[in-house]
Structure 1
Amino acid sequence: MPISPKRLPFFQHLAELRQRLVIIMITLVVGSSILYFDPFYTSILAWVLAPIKAMLPGGQLNVFGPFESFTFRFKVALFASIVVFSPIVIWQIMAFFLPALKPKERRWFVPTFAASVILFLGGAGFSYYVIMKPAFQFMFAQGGNLVKVVPAADRFLTGIGLLFVGFGIAFEVPIVVFYSIGLGLIPYSKLRESWRYVYTVLAVVAAVATPDWSPVTMGALGGALVVLYEASLALARFVFAKKIKEQRQAALVEADE
């Protein structure tokens, strides 16, 4: 559906939302259908398991029934399509909110879209290249020497898929912070002064976004979110310098009264 800069009535918003969701669903269905078959499926699975293959008994996962083989393969294709086709999904989500923006705010649409895609893929990549191996080493070690870990393919993949998607979504924090300041929802000074509370919220986000809840994963994600948060504040201070100055002056006037 084309992007319209016009403001829409409520029921047209609902129709717009429905069409955006339909496009997202069709994208994921078509994408999953393509990635379900070889050579995509085998290549994707080999790439996903590469960091932890040495930890798996025999270098393989285990399925416990013929139907589970189908669901496992389908989940591989689904999670892969979410990551591969994330630009389309993000575009549709952002385009839904475009009519609510003022003309001056709409100029940020394309840069924000590009940043959102980079952050999502960056979060997924961070979980794969930095988090995945130490996190699974920690979890595998919890059973001790008397326990043999036999990874069930379906559950194992669900954990990995949620790890990728969870980190990707969590890495969108800078977008939220940037627009909260830019749209005047939360003053810059408030976010700067309340860093202890913000860090606590980021720690909760890290706990929710990590499916394994291991201290390795939560600590790494929490640290990454703090860095992204501080970077987004620095960027907002540079971009919205005039607005931040006006907010400070208004706060001083209000304090004097």
Structure 2
Amino acid sequence: MSSSPEGQQAPEMPLIEHLLELRNRLLKMVLAVIICFAVIYPFANDLYLLLSQPLRDLLPEGQMMIATDITSPFFAPLKLALVLAVFAAIPIILYQLWSFVAPGLYAHEKRLAFPLLFTSVILFYGGATFAYFVVFPLVFGFFTAIGPEGIIELPDIASYLNFILKMFFAFGVAFEIPIATVLLILTGATTPNDLAAKRPYVVVACFIIGMLLTPPDIISQTLLAVPMWILFEFGILFGRLAYKERQDTDEEELGSQ
């Protein structure tokens, strides 16, 4: 698409050109996932061992994980490699989405949209990293310590994979709260002062979401709820800055008319 003057949108393209460009962008996204999968799959077993390390470190000596389904030793690493390929391709996927919608944005919207996209990727990865290094050791330590005596824990590899992927997704999405907060403010759906006034309700909602998205123990629920609340406060802080910039931009546009 051709570049547009400052503060203006690019000329509209015919619908068929939009659809063709969307198809090309989607093909590039799929190709990025396939390439990442091809790179990751040879190391799928090693990656599974790495991700299961927090639990295996807590199992009594001599105990190990098991596969209760005959296909699990093949499909569990395969599923892990595919999910990790999507995670690894997220920057490329978001870049393609950005390239598709950017020509339709005003200049001041572009200045905000790209940093938000970049920050959302960092926050998602940060949430998954927080889950692995902080949440998993505490949660698995809790579960392995409360079992009745005489019960031998032999975690199934497929069940464990489903559990950690759910936790990665829950914490990755939860860490996007600042982005959601800033977007709500930028779109005019709310204001920083309105969000700050609703802080008590947000804190309660964080703990409810933590209860729904994590195992039924107070440790993992708190470890998700507290970061969500802190990130909400950061969202309000950056939202105030974005709100002020938006007001300044609107005043400049009115002054230039």
Q: Deviation of residue 79 (structure 1)?
A: 2.7
Identity %: 27
Q: Deviation of residue 241 (structure 1)?
A: 2.8
Match of 2:255 in 1: none
CA distance in 2 between partners of 1:20 and 1:196 (Å): 42
Match of 1:249 in 2: none
CA distance in 1 between partners of 2:14 and 2:150 (Å): 64
How has the CA–CA distance of structure 1 residues 61 and 82 changed in structure 2, closer, same or farther, with 3 Å as cutoff?
farther
2:48 to 40, 45, 54: 45
Q: Deviation of residue 147 (structure 1)?
A: 2.3
Match of 2:109 in 1: 105
CA distance in 1 between partners of 2:205 and 2:95 (Å): 27
Q: Deviation of residue 164 (structure 1)?
A: 1.4
CA distance in 2 between partners of 1:10 and 1:209 (Å): 41
Structure-to-structure mapping, 1:50-89, within 5 angstroms: 50-56=53-59, 58=62, 60-89=64-93
Q: Deviation of residue 199 (structure 1)?
A: 2.2
Match of 2:190 in 1: 186
Match of 2:234 in 1: 231
- AA aligned to 1:202 is C
Match of 1:145 in 2: 149
How has the CA–CA distance of structure 1 residues 117 and 242 changed in structure 2, closer, same or farther, with 3 Å as cutoff?
closer
Q: Deviation of residue 194 (structure 1)?
A: 0.9
How has the CA–CA distance of structure 1 residues 165 and 92 changed in structure 2, closer, same or farther, with 3 Å as cutoff?
farther
Q: Deviation of residue 172 (structure 1)?
A: 0.8
Deviations 1:135-154 (A, max 9, x none): 11222334321322221101
- AA aligned to 1:119 is L
CA distance in 2 between partners of 1:200 and 1:82 (Å): 32
Match of 1:253 in 2: none
Contact 1:170 1:205 in 2 (8 A): no
- AA aligned to 2:95 is W
How has the CA–CA distance of structure 1 residues 13 and 117 changed in structure 2, closer, same or farther, with 3 Å as cutoff?
same
2:40 to 35, 38, 45: 35
Structure-to-structure mapping, 1:200-219, within 5 angstroms: 200-210=204-214, 212-219=215-222
TM-score by length of 1: 0.79
Contact 1:90 1:113 in 2 (8 A): yes
Contact 1:123 1:168 in 2 (8 A): yes
Q: Deviation of residue 72 (structure 1)?
A: 0.9
Q: Deviation of residue 198 (structure 1)?
A: 2.1
Deviations 1:93-150 (A, max 9, x none): 5555545643311112321222111101110110011100111122233432132222
CA distance in 1 between partners of 2:25 and 2:173 (Å): 19
Q: Deviation of residue 178 (structure 1)?
A: 0.9
SS at match of 1:36: helix
Q: CA RMSD in A?
A: 3.3
Equivalent residue pairs, number: 244
Q: Deviation of residue 85 (structure 1)?
A: 2.5
- AA aligned to 1:137 is G
CA distance in 2 between partners of 1:112 and 1:20 (Å): 20
CA distance in 2 between partners of 1:189 and 1:33 (Å): 48
Deviations 1:192-239 (A, max 9, x none): 1111222233334334443x3432112111100111110121122234
CA distance in 2 between partners of 1:120 and 1:99 (Å): 26
Contact 1:124 1:164 in 2 (8 A): yes
Larger deviation: 66-75 or 98-107? 98-107
- AA aligned to 2:40 is L
How has the CA–CA distance of structure 1 residues 214 and 44 changed in structure 2, closer, same or farther, with 3 Å as cutoff?
same
CA distance in 2 between partners of 1:92 and 1:145 (Å): 54
Q: Deviation of residue 244 (structure 1)?
A: 7.1
TM-score by length of 2: 0.79
Q: Deviation of residue 20 (structure 1)?
A: 4.8
